[in-house]
A and B are shown apart, each in its own frame.
Chain A
């Protein structure tokens, strides 16, 4: 049992890490083929787990409806849409030709069918609405942060004002220095900090990968 819980996952992680690193340094087409093959395997695994994901989602919402938990109506709506979209995809009815092509026929984004209609008329506007909320959320978050209660907050407020002003054409008419200062803030202090963070991310990634590769980090196996 310890073999399956401990030795096998560590050996697999180590072997795949070595193969992955090797493929960076071996440009041979065998190496290319290996990389392409692993991508396919990853997709296959993803495809299998998609069913598990869908099962998990449906199970969670089924239990909510059964127990009539708070907000169970949303779960019912999810079921309604799930069934509708699946049905549209199976029927695969193309309104342009007036024919039903069935579930095995390929469909694409240009086809005038139910799935595309739901996507274009419901999902896309809903996503755009959700995205547009960001504008308001940025305002409320900025209001909380930019209150100049401390020296740091005051510096942040001034820097933010300069950068924001520098992004609009009006700033150049006020003073040519504003766009210049905005660009300076973005290109120098901001870029320096970004690179420092990126630098830490890269070293941290290498460290974490090594810990996983050599079995030092085993939390992902349940911390054995």
Chain B
């Protein structure tokens, strides 16, 4: 049979290509032996069936890949799994991370030594940690390999999930980094450079100019998978430092998702709760007299406290906490400020509003100005009475305490989110014999306020304060709706606790992240 000479030449070229490629790439000798933690030639190894599967992580923004494979019979405390990754089907995959297998009992023992409780999520270092940061032998906790059952939002609650390992690849080392660093700066930096070089984390290290320094965090040498790009993975087992088996290559493409289906139950619950609250607001609007709201001592005492300050001719202090406007409790505090400012305007007292945040100060100025105008006392407003003190909490507490002592505050309100300054402020107020009313959702500070203040609004009472003081039917209705929601949730908790106690988990799983 005659063949065309061109065909034979083309066939020869195709057959010669692999050899030519091997000749052109001196770094890939045909007899290269794989070593743990180094790159190697996959084609030189025989594949073993570790059953590796790679999949796009569902319900994410296209930057997560899940790897899963069955647990192996050979797993022992000294054995390692090593994950290899590449972003094209070249012959080389980079070693990504080493995963040490230890059993749960050993894990809990090690965690106990570190003072941590069993089952803590800190074990998922694989998600956040590079190969270079893996725990050193004997110096830190070596994590047990996570299982599919650790990711119920992806794999559900099936019993067989315990028979599979699963890891989430959301970060890996970058291959395009140039580290600019001054090698002579100090011991710490020199140590870091050594480690970076040893791990091969960057392509190039460029010394900085004289006198220039930079701080380097090893975590920055990582990158997340890019969406719509194919990644290839392989898994190999390493025993006593020797590679003894390898999986076939698995691939996955991280995809963007338009809806987080595992949060569908949350969305439904949110709608139901929202509808209940809004329904009660609507009912209250139609029947304003039919709703009862329990007496809140702290709010009942506002008038008494202001009246006392008016009688004594002493100023009122309204102290915001360090929370900014993104905190709901700060918004509640500002709402409350408006109501209190109205009363202050009516009584003709002087009120000082101290702020730790510029935006809170701006909104507070508007609130107080509007409140004074509403009660016909626009002349009582003074910009200097609603002012920014400082952004530092201790400087704030020192400044406000000083003012309270010098001006002998008659009444002090502490509303908002507070930290350790709560006791510094309220104890100073107690020394000046001021009537003090506090309200916060920072539950660690609530005991301090209860101890030092005359009245304390505990958490949710703060949110109801605006409705309580204004008695506006729709606001009161919404508060009533919140109470109904709480009653429903308490019922669910009690029913769920009873069912779980008797081993019926299905009801509880309705409130966990759902699986696809």
Within 8 A of A (CB), among B332-346: 332, 334-335, 338-339
13 A-B pairs within 8 Å (CB atoms) are namely A25-B266, A53-B358, A63-B384, A123-B395, A126-B398, A127-B392, A141-B451, A198-B443, A200-B459, A203-B482, A209-B328, A219-B367, A222-B374
Given contacts A24-B263, A56-B387, A216-B478, contact A223 B463 (CB under 8 A): no
Residue in chain B with minimal CB distance to A42: B326
Is there a chain A Cβ closer than 8 Å to B52's Cβ?
A: no
Q: Which residues of A contact B481 (CB under 8 A)?
A: 207
Task: Mark A116-156 against chain B: 1 for CB-CB distance below 8 A, else 0.
Answer: 00000001001100110110011011101100000000000
**CB <8 Å contact, A194 and B443:** yes
Asked whether B394 is an interface residue with its Cβ less than 8 Å from the other chain, the reply is yes
Chain A residues near B (Cβ < 8 Å): 21, 24-29, 31-32, 42, 45-46, 49-50, 52-54, 56-57, 59-60, 63, 70-71, 74, 96-97, 110, 123, 126-127, 130-131, 133-134, 137-138, 140-142, 144-145, 194, 197-201, 203-212, 214, 216-217, 219-220, 222-223
The 6 closest A-B pairs by CB, nearest first: A222-B370, A53-B358, A204-B463, A200-B460, A204-B460, A49-B358
Q: Are B395 and A29 in contact (CB under 8 A)?
A: no
Q: Which residue on B lies nearest to A70, using beta carbons?
A: B406
Instruction: Return the contact of A208 from the options B331, B390, B420 (Cβ within 8 A).
Output: B331
Chain A neighbourhood of B463, CB < 8 A: 204-205, 207-208
**Nearest Cβ on chain A to B438's Cβ, whole angstroms:** 13
B267 close to chain A: CB less than 8 A: yes
Cα A130 to Cα B359 in complex, Å, equals 26
Question: Among B60, B331, B361, B479, which residue has its beta carbon within 8 angstroms of that of A212?
Answer: B331
A56 to B383 Cα, complex, angstroms: 8
B residues in contact with A142, CB < 8 Å: 451
Given known contacts A127-B395, A142-B451, A204-B462, A53 and B277 CB-to-CB distance under 8 angstroms: no
> A130-B394, A131-B420, A206-B277 known; 9 other A-B pairs, CB under 8 Å?
A28-B61, A28-B62, A53-B355, A56-B388, A199-B489, A201-B460, A204-B460, A210-B277, A222-B370
B366 interfacial contact with A, CB 8 Å: yes
Q: Is B260 an interface residue (CB 8 A)?
A: yes
Chain A residues with Cβ below 8 Å from B355 are 53
Task: Identify the closest chain B residue to A32 (Cβ).
Answer: B61
From A57, A71, A217, A220, B388 is in contact (CB under 8 Å) with A57
Q: In the assembled complex, which residues on chain A have CB atoms less than 8 Å from the CB atom of B366? A: 222
Known: A208-B328, A219-B338. A203 touches B387 (CB 8 A): no
CA separation between A224 and B427, bound complex, in Å?
Answer: 37
Chain A: which residue is nearest B285 at the CB level? A216
Chain B contacts for A209, CB-based, 8 A:
328
Chain A residues, CB < 8 A from B48: none
Q: Does B446 contact A (CB under 8 A)?
A: yes
**Which residues of chain B are near A131, meaning CB under 8 Å?**
394, 420
| A216: B residues at CB distance < 8 A | 281, 474-475, 478
Q: With the chains together, A222 CA to B475 CA distance in Å?
A: 15
Do A217 and B420 have beta carbons less than 8 Å apart? no
Distance between Cα atoms of A110 and B215 in the complex (Å): 10
Interchain CA distance A214-B215 in the complex, whole Å: 47
Measured between C-beta atoms, what is the minimum distance from B470 to chain A in Å? 7
| Contact in complex: A137, B427 (CB < 8 Å) | yes
Distance (Å) between the CB of A97 and the closest chain B CB?
5
B274 at the interface (CB under 8 A from A): yes
CB neighbours (8 Å) of B446 from chain A are: 197
Chain B hits for A223, CB < 8 A: 338, 370-371, 374, 470
Q: Looking across the interface, which residue of chain B has its beta carbon closest to that of A50?
A: B358
Query: Which chain B positions have C-beta within 8 A of A25?
Result: 259-260, 263, 266-267
Which residues of chain A come closer than 8 Å to B363, judged between CB atoms? 220
In contact, A46 and B359 (Cβ under 8 angstroms): yes
Give complex CA distance A168, B458 in Å. Answer: 30
Complex: how many Å from CA A212 to CA B213?
48
Q: Does B249 contact A (CB under 8 A)?
A: no
